[in-house]
Amino acid sequence: MFNPLRIWQLASLILACALIAAITQLLRNTTQAEPVNKVMLPTVINTVGYEHLALSPKARHAQERYSL
């Protein structure tokens, strides 16, 4: 008959190996990724005319008050 303790140890070992492999693959993919060109990705804050969409109502009110 199978020993339940050995089955749990084997399952834990397999899961630990899978976790280590996934983390190393993730780290390898992030270090090899090309840098993002910021000119191609405009944001709401950098786009002229849409500043009011990026602020909450209280922040927009304060900006309008102090942006003389």
Are 43 and 25 in a shared domain?
no
Q: Supply the pLDDT for residue 57.
A: 75
Are 7 and 27 in a shared domain?
yes
Are 1 and 29 in a shared domain?
yes
| 45 touches 53 (CB < 8 A) | no
Q: Supply the pLDDT for residue 64.
A: 77
Are 42 and 16 in a shared domain?
no
Are 29 and 4 in a shared domain?
yes
Are 19 and 44 in a shared domain?
no
CA distances, 60 to each of 15, 27, 51, 53, 65 (Å): 50, 40, 9, 9, 9
Q: What is the pLDDT of residues 3-43, one digit of tens each?
A: 999 999 999 999 999 999 999 998 887 766 556 555 555 55
Count: domains in the chain = 2
The residue ranking higher by pLDDT, 53 or 46, is 53
Q: How confident is the model at residue 53 (pLDDT cuts 50, 70, 90)?
A: low
54 lies in which domain range? 37-68
Average the pLDDT over 40-67 and give the result. 65
CA distances, 57 to each of 31, 61, 62, 64, 66 (Å): 39, 6, 9, 10, 14
Q: Supply the pLDDT for residue 62.
A: 75
Residues 6+ apart with CB under 8 A from 10: none
